[in-house]
């Protein structure tokens, strides 16, 4: 348990009061909270330490609430209607949103909470992402059979006591609200079909391969019918509670999903701190991690290396290793260097091989340079940190002369691969990765034609990470 600061609040809704709890990470970067919607037997307390770990991992607040009739919220007498999933979105969540003062938010729903998240997102454009975990999308035979099995188990002596700890006198109602509604004829035709296509924000559907209440058909339904970008993740050796059974993987995929959709971005100060700390031992670190960028550049720059007074911009110049190597082959090279780290700029300055050096973030453009200034642009080991890659590449295009060569590296990300830069941090710095097809499209849009592409393996955060090295040349026009 991380014991993050938390605060509790009751919100008045039609029929009683709703209990809410908010966790705030010690390092708060993003202010759009994740709202947790619990399962059919759940409540705030039954999320256990997941909200704290989620808040810490995502650097944003996490809020959970007990639906009416559950946990610390007010009791209900009648069991929910067959339309209770839709009613949560239409009747209760708007009051909760207002009571919490929510603007933009992310929804994470477990089991039936996932269905509620879909219904809310279909109606509320302030939802910027939906994450479903073991969510049902309709009623399968497997769903009904799993509920019948659970109902029989709770009829055994002492089994209901497990829920009483969390729901008190409401426990029998909680069980009936689940079993009687879900096993009723009136609910047998329930489906998210009327709403799922109206979900326009990104959607991630996480599901256990051994989920006792639903098959892979559920996440397939959600991701194939969603109106926005979507991704399905099937977790091996996992049942109905991924955040408990596969906590690390669940946190990882959630983080990756938010990164991929730019709901988590890099902050310049984090990158600066990382490379300032690394600047004094950078050469040793690159040797230890088998960083191949400088050697790859030496091998591939041969077509132009003999050009007299070659004008070159070295973006992410680090300690100057690239120009130090190249100037041995062509002492007339005229190089300017750029790096976000002052420590690296200081180290590069000591080499004496640059005309000028700038401590600058490429995300802010290259306004210090005129258009058509350089014969060669190099950007190795830095593009994976760019929040605005399209803009950064357009700026590189602008400062390159016609037919200039561009030498660049990208961290590669292919769906289903074990090692992915979207799964990696370096002191909380995000490494954005791209598939080979994405890289081709990104460079083409920027106005660069790929001449050669080389896939290699490097190391990020201590584990293997695929890289793509590209040689490209500036075409005639930038594509908007």
Kindly tell me if the per-residue pLDDT of 268 is higher than 50: yes
DSSP 191: B
Kindly tell me if the per-residue pLDDT of 374 is higher than 50: yes
The pLDDT of residue 423 is 46
Kindly tell me if the per-residue pLDDT of 424 is higher than 60: no
User: Interior CA angle at 316 toward 266 and 278, to 5°?
Assistant: 75
Q: Does domain 268-474 have CATH number 3.40.50.150?
A: yes
Q: What's the pLDDT band for 415 if we cut at 50, 70, 90?
A: low
The reply to whether domains 6-260 and 268-474 share a CATH topology is yes
Kindly tell me if the per-residue pLDDT of 358 is higher than 60: yes
DSSP characters over 444-477: HHHTEEEEEEEEEEEEETTEEEEEEEEEEEE-S-
Residues forming beta bridges with residue 311, ordered by sequence position: 334
Q: State what percent of residues in the chain have pLDDT above 70.
A: 94
The pLDDT of residue 421 is 45
**Alpha carbon 97 to chain centroid distance?**
24
For the chain, the structural domain boundaries read 6-260, 268-474
Kindly tell me if the per-residue pLDDT of 402 is higher than 60: yes
- Exposure letters 290-321 (e unless 16+ CB within 10 A, then b): ebbbbebbeebbeeeeeeeebbbbbbbbbbbb
Mean pLDDT value of segment 302-310: 92
The answer to whether the CB of 472 falls within 8 A of the CB of 402 is no
Q: What's the pLDDT band for 419 if we cut at 50, 70, 90?
A: very low
The pLDDT of residue 416 is 55
The pLDDT of residue 462 is 55
What's the rounded Cα separation, in Å, for the pair 420 and 460? 9
What's the rounded Cα separation, in Å, for the pair 106 and 466? 30
Give the chain's end-to-end CA distance (angstroms, integer). 49
Enter the CATH code of domain 6-260: 3.40.50.1820
């Amino acid at each position: 348990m991380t014991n993050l600061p938390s605060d509790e609040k009751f919100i008045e809704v039609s029929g009683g009061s709703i209990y809410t709890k908010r966790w705030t990470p010690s390092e708060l970067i993003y202010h759009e909270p994740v709202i947790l919607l619990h399962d059919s037997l759940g409540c705030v307390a039954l999320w256990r330490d997941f909200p704290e770990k989620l808040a810490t991992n995502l650097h944003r607040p996490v809020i959970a609430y007990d639906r009416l009739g559950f946990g610390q919220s007010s009791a209900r007498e009648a069991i929910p209607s067959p339309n209770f999933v839709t009613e949560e979105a239409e009747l209760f969540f708007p009051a909760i949103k207002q009571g919490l003062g929510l603007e933009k938010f992310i929804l994470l729903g477990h089991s039936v909470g996932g269905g509620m998240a879909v219904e809310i997102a279909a109606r509320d454009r302030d939802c910027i992402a939906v994450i479903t975990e073991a969510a049902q999308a309709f009623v399968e035979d497997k769903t009904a059979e799993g509920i019948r099995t659970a109902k029989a188990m709770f009829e055994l002596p002492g089994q209901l006591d497990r829920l009483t700890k969390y729901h008190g006198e409401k426990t029998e109602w909680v069980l009936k609200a689940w079993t009687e509604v879900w096993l009723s004829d009136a609910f047998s035709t329930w489906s998210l079909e009327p709403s799922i296509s109206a979900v326009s924000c990104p959607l991630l559907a996480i599901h256990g391969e051994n989920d006792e209440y639903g098959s892979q058909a559920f996440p397939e339904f959600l991701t194939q019918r969603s109106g926005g970008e979507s991704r399905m993740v099937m977790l091996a050796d996992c049942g109905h509670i991924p955040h408990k059974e596969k906590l690390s993987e669940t946190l990882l995929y959630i983080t990756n999903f938010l990164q991929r959709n730019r709901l988590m971005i890099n902050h310049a100060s984090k990158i600066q701190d990382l490379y300032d700390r690394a600047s004094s031992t950078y050469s040793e670190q690159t040797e230890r991690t088998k960083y191949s960028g400088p050697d790859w550049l030496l091998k591939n720059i041969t077509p132009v290396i003999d050009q007299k007074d070659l004008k070159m911009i070295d973006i992410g110049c680090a300690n100057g290793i690239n120009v130090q190597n190249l100037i041995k082959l062509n002492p007339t090279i005229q190089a300017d260097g750029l790096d976000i780290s002052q420590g690296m700029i200081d180290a590069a300055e000591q080499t004496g091989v640059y005309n000028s050096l700038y401590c600058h973030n490429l995300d802010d453009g290259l306004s210090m340079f005129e258009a058509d200034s350089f014969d060669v642009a190099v950007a190795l080991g830095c593009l994976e940190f760019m929040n605005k890659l399209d803009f950064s590449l357009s700026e590189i295009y602008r400062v390159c002369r016609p037919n200039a060569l561009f030498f660049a590296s990208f961290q590669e990300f292919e769906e289903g691969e074990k090692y992915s830069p979207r799964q990696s941090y370096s002191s909380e710095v995000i490494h954005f990765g791209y598939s080979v097809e994405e890289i081709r499209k990104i460079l083409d849009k920027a106005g660069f034609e790929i001449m050669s592409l080389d896939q290699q393996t490097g190391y990020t955060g201590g584990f293997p990470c695929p890289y793509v090295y590209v040689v490209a040349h500036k075409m005639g026009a930038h594509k908007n």
